[in-house]
Structure 1
Amino acid sequence: MTVMATPRPTGHPGYSETLPRVAESATVARRLVRTALAAWGLEDQMDDASLVITELVSNAVDHGRLPSIRVIVSRPTANRVRLGVVDRSKAVPMMRTDSNGDQLRGRGLVLVDALTERWGTDLYGWGKQVWGELKCEPAR
């Protein structure tokens, strides 16, 4: 007898992975995001989601304290995908809106803000999760 698992459009399974706090982890994080979106039939969100997770990982690499970060991809509702990165720093990220053209870095949250429906920071006693939510069409 073969038992088939029925994929659920929301909730579990969520996808997460602990990664080293290095720039190269963005590649693994993008792969995790693509895997989750493909499982949920949301391939049309891959480009925006890949950019968002890259920026979130980059911020955690720059500002985290310990040698690892955790990437989390979940679907809290049928019309939202949440991308999050957990690190052990309690420093709340600030969106830079200055237009100093000399700086090539430091405006990743402006991109996250532009690509997501909403984003934020959940503070914990030991660190934080910075997340962004993309709006998506429910699976049919």
Structure 2
Amino acid sequence: MTSLIKAVQAALTDQPAYSQTFPCKPATAELGRKLVRDVLALWRLDHLADVATLIISELIANAVRHTSCHTLRLIVERPSATRVRVAVVDRAPLRLPVLGKIGENDESGRGLLLIDCTAGRWGYDLRGPGGRPWGKEVWAELFMKGDE
């Protein structure tokens, strides 16, 4: 199987970034994990792969479950030399992520709790003009020594 990196276009920014659009389906989680692992390997940050793939899986699962979007944009970027950000962009700006309370017997709803416990920080940004967003980017960042 060929690497997803070859199909990914680098964003035109001052920092390294990769992004790709995928269907908004549960099977995208596997593709997202592959993208994250490939990019982190390229940057020689393999030690972050387990946590980053867990996070991207949860972000994808939330978008699939809580939006009616047809596609998702996955992003892996380095906002600084000591931070990695993974993100999912969807076209559902009114469905914002909320860290809720989970009951002991609840069978789902722990995704954001997992992200909150494993990421250095997480959040979301609305996409589009002020007052009329067309979507949102839900992101999580991993910190390396020096930027915590």
CA distance, structure 1, for counterparts of residue 98 and residue 105 of structure 2: 19
Query: Number of residues paired by the alignment?
Result: 127
Does residue 128 of structure 1 match 2:130? no
Report if aligned partners of 1:65, 1:87 keep a CA contact under 8 Å in 2.
Answer: no
1:80 Cα offset (Å): 0.3
**Letter aligned with residue 15 of structure 2:** G
Q: Trace 1:73-92 onto structure 2 (pairs within 5 A).
A: 73-90=76-93, 91-92=95-96
1:72 aligned partner: 75
1:136 Cα offset (Å): 2.2
CA distance, structure 2, for counterparts of residue 64 and residue 28 of structure 1: 19
2:122 aligned partner: 119
Unaligned runs of 5+ in 1: 1-9
Structure 2 SS opposite 1:73 = strand
Q: Larger Rg: 1 or 2?
A: 1
Unaligned runs of 5+ in 2: 1-13, 128-132
CA distance, structure 2, for counterparts of residue 66 and residue 50 of structure 1: 22
1:104 Cα offset (Å): 1.5
CA distance, structure 2, for counterparts of residue 65 and residue 128 of structure 1: 13
With structure 1 as the length reference, what TM-score do the two structures score? 0.86
Q: How large is the RMSD of aligned CA atoms in angstroms?
A: 1.4
With structure 2 as the length reference, what TM-score do the two structures score? 0.81
1:120 Cα offset (Å): 0.4
Higher relative contact order (CA 8 A, sep 6+): 1
**Letter aligned with residue 18 of structure 1:** T
Provide runs of 4+ in structure 1 moved above 3 Å: none
Q: Alpha-carbon deviations, 1:48-102, whole Å to 9, x = none?
A: 001000000000111122211110000010000000000111111101233x122
CA distance, structure 2, for counterparts of residue 16 and residue 62 of structure 1: 21
